[in-house]
Structure 1
């Protein structure tokens, strides 16, 4: 990511106070979704 891209991202998402928290929660939701889909394949 270039400095220009980074600054543009920060301008688009001024409400984000912690990018680490945002990315960690997104990863957790993604992993939970994958787990739920795997459970459906086993049950269904």
Structure 2
């Protein structure tokens, strides 16, 4: 499979990357991941 075909199929503009009702979940996920990385770095370093 060529890279152009894979990229074109995976980056189709028909579906938005984030629906309006997913913004809260997205923010929570980013905060949780960021907090986990921060806590892990604080413990390890």
Unaligned runs of 5+ in 2: 1-14
CA RMSD in angstroms, aligned pairs only: 1.7
Question: Which aligned runs of 4 or more in structure 1 are off by greater than 2 angstroms?
Answer: none
Greater helix content: 1
TM-score (norm 2): 0.55
TM-score (norm 1): 0.57
Partner of 2:18: 16
Unaligned runs of 5+ in 1: 1-12
Answer 1 or 2: higher relative contact order, Cα 8 Å, separation at least 6: 1
